Structure 1
Amino acid sequence: MTDQTPALDPENTLNLDLKTGRVVIQLLPNIAPMHVAQIKTLVRKGFYDGTVFHRVIEGFMAQGGDPTGTGTGGSDLDNIRAEFTDKAKFLRGTCGMARSQSPHSANSQFFIMFEPASHLNGQYTIWGQVVEGMEHVDQLKRGSGGGGTVSNPDKIEKFSVAADAA
């Protein structure tokens, strides 16, 4: 960070530890308060630890957060209503919430963008932005199966809220 960069709020900062290093994500509670609350609840429960990035598509995004690793699972928490916005766009490092065809079906699965994707704007909820360590997301194993499904995928080693660090 430079001297001009404002300090991150530890309560709204996540540390995503991958095998290659740490990814720091700034949460956006002003844009998606329900999604940020759900992600933080799951992170604090250890829900994401050991889960895989099951869908990783070169030039598009890396998706994880499914306890089954198949793209069909979620948490035991209720689904979240969509929080679409025109205040943020899907750019490199943007964190969005995966969902089914229903806009109000987001639960635990999320994705991190490799490249901008304007066709997602207003269609998926944006809940965070990578502010450090995007090079580690870039190193995730890509999928070669249908829809970018990854064989022997990379895992989330540890996901934590920065405020909880000892």
Structure 2
Amino acid sequence: MKHLISIFLLFLSFSVFSDENPTVLMETSQGPIIIELYPTLAPKTVDNFLKYVQTDGFKQTTFHRIINNFMIQGGGFEVSGKKAVTFAAIENESRNGLSNKRGTIAMARTNNPHSATRQFFINHNDNHFLDAQDERWGYSVFGKVIKGMEVVDKIAMVKTGAGDKPIQTVIINRISAGKK
């Protein structure tokens, strides 16, 4: 009941956010997080993320990698542990002027800079070393937590085991589109 009231209040508060940028509500097992997306600065990345949102692609996925004071990574694995189905990889937009600061959301990828599909991470600290520098590609920031950073902090504190995998499963129940 407490989470339902929190979610209701967060939806009511959408009206105070920018009319220019879309927002999403990330409902997690640890509480709700509202994220503002930046389609002007990261159009391909935001479009890709919203495709997963619109198809309920993040429903019942997990934060599968958690490193306190660094980041929480999710969206790529179902609660069962099975790897989630992906759309095609997208072009890296890390040279968009956005920085991997605390509370920003960015795309996870492999060593191939243009390999991001569905996995994302929320920076738990200022991680400027993840930004594009000179000839080196970075990790594409495409939004920022605008409500619920205390939930991110709570998730970051979850105990982890091998491979930074949380011992207690942290579930992304659903991500839904907010006000545009």
TM-score (norm 1): 0.86
Deviations 1:78-115 (A, max 9, x none): 10010112521111101010001100000000000111
Q: Tell which deviates more after alignment, 64-73 or 91-100.
A: 64-73
* Counterpart contact for 1:96–1:128, Cα < 8 Å: yes
Question: How much does 1:22 deviate?
Answer: 1.6
Report what 2:149 is aligned to.
134
More strand by share: 2
Q: Which runs of 5+ in 1 are unaligned?
A: 1-5
Aligned-residue offset at 1:154 = 0.5
Instruction: Give the SS at the match of 1:85.
Output: coil
1:41-120, aligned counterparts within 5 Å?
41-68=51-78, 73-85=83-95, 87-120=97-130
Aligned equivalent of 1:149: 165
Give aligned-pair identity as a percent.
31
Distance in 2, matches of 1:161 and 1:71, equals: 25
Preserved CA contact (<8 Å) 1:92 1:113: yes
Change in 2 beyond 3 A, CA 1:20/1:105:
same
Q: What RMSD over aligned residues (CA atoms) do the two structures have, in Å?
A: 2.5
Tell me the TM-score normalized by structure 2.
Answer: 0.79
Give aligned pairs, total: 160
Preserved contact between residue 74 and residue 107 of structure 1 (Cα < 8 Å): no
Q: Could you give the per-residue CA deviations for residues 48-68 of structure 1, whole angstroms, max 9, x where no partner exists?
A: 011000000011000001135
